[in-house]
Structure 1
Amino acid sequence: MRLPTLRRPRAADGDSATAGPARLDRRTKRLTQRLKPGDVAIIDHVDIDRVAGDALVASGVSAVINAAPSISGRYPNLGPEVIVGAGIPLVDAVGQEIFDHVREGQRIRIDGAAVYLGDELVGTGQRQDTETVAAAMTEAKAGLSVQLEAFAANTMEYMKRERDLLLDGVGVPEIRTPIDGRHCLIVVRGYDYREDLEVLGSYIREFRPVLIGVDGGADALVEAGYTPDLIVGDMDSVSDDVLRCGAEVVVHAYPDGRAPGLARVDRLGVRAVVFPAAATSEDIAMLLADERGATLIVAVGTHATLVEFLDKGRAGMASTFLTRLRVGGKLVDAKGVSRLYRQRVSSMSLFVLIAAALCAMAAALAISTVGRTSLQLLAEQWDNLVFQLQRLFS
Structure 2
Amino acid sequence: MSVSTGTVLGTARIGKRTKDLTKRLEPGDIAVIDHEDIDRVAAEALVERAPAAVVNAARSTSGRYPNAGPQILVDHGIVLVDDCGDELFANVADGALLTIAEGTVRAGASTAATGIRQSPESIAMAIEESRENLSEQLELFARNTLEYMLREKDLLLDGVGAPEVRTALDGRPVLIVVRGYHYKEDLATLRPFLRENRPVVIGVDGGADAVLEAGWDPDMIIGDMDSVSDRALASGAELVVHAYRDGRAPGLERLRELGLQDRSVVFPAAGTSEDIAMLLADEKGASVIVAVGTHGTLEEFLDKGRAGMSSTFLTRLRVGSKLVDAKGVSRLYRQRISTPQLVLLAVAGLLALAVAMWATPGGQATFQLLGARWDDALSWFTSLFATRPATGT
- What TM-score do the two structures reach when normalised by structure 1? 0.81
Q: Secondary structure at the match of 1:64?
A: strand
Say if 1:15 and 1:326 are closer, same or farther in 2 by CA, change over 3 A. farther
Residue 189 of structure 2 corresponds to 199
* Separation in 1, partners of 2:329, 2:208: 20
Q: Can you give the 5+ residue segments of structure 2 that lack an aligned partner in the other structure? A: 334-341, 343-393
2:297 counterpart letter in structure 1: T
Residue 357 of structure 2 corresponds to none
* Separation in 2, partners of 1:108, 1:336: 38
1:255 Cα deviation from its structure 2 partner: 0.8
1:317 Cα deviation from its structure 2 partner: 0.5
1:22 Cα deviation from its structure 2 partner: 1.0
1:46 aligns with 2:60: no
Q: Across the two proteins, how many residue pairs are aligned to each other?
A: 329
Native 8 Å contact 2:186 2:328 kept in 1: no
Alignment of 1:216-227 (within 5 A): 216-227=206-217
2:62 to 58, 62, 72: 72
Structure with greater Cα Rg: 2
1:105 aligns with 2:101: no
1:169 aligns with 2:159: yes
* Separation in 2, partners of 1:129, 1:192: 26
1:266-311 Cα distance to aligned partner (Å, 9 max, x none): 2212220101111101111111111111111111111111121112
1:324-350 Cα distance to aligned partner (Å, 9 max, x none): 110111111114766889xxxxxx9xx
* Separation in 2, partners of 1:329, 1:87: 42
1:54 Cα deviation from its structure 2 partner: 1.3
Native 8 Å contact 1:15 1:112 kept in 2: no
* Separation in 1, partners of 2:229, 2:110: 38
1:181 aligns with 2:174: no
1:310 aligns with 2:324: no
2:257 counterpart letter in structure 1: R
Q: How much identity, in percent, do the aligned residues show? A: 64
Native 8 Å contact 1:280 1:317 kept in 2: yes
2:289 to 281, 292, 297: 297
1:182-227 Cα distance to aligned partner (Å, 9 max, x none): 1111101111111001111111101111101001100000000000
1:33 Cα deviation from its structure 2 partner: 2.6
1:127 counterpart letter in structure 2: R
Residue 106 of structure 2 corresponds to 116
Q: Secondary structure at the match of 1:35?
A: coil
Say if 1:77 and 1:224 are closer, same or farther in 2 by CA, change over 3 A. same
Q: Secondary structure at the match of 2:221?
A: strand
* Separation in 2, partners of 1:86, 1:260: 37
Native 8 Å contact 2:294 2:327 kept in 1: no
Q: Secondary structure at the match of 2:267?
A: strand
Q: Can you give the 5+ residue segments of structure 1 that lack an aligned partner in the other structure? A: 1-13, 342-347, 349-394
* Separation in 1, partners of 2:69, 2:121: 15
* Separation in 1, partners of 2:122, 2:330: 36
1:15 Cα deviation from its structure 2 partner: 4.5
- What TM-score do the two structures reach when normalised by structure 2? 0.81
2:314 to 290, 306, 322: 322
Native 8 Å contact 2:189 2:329 kept in 1: no
* Separation in 2, partners of 1:146, 1:335: 27
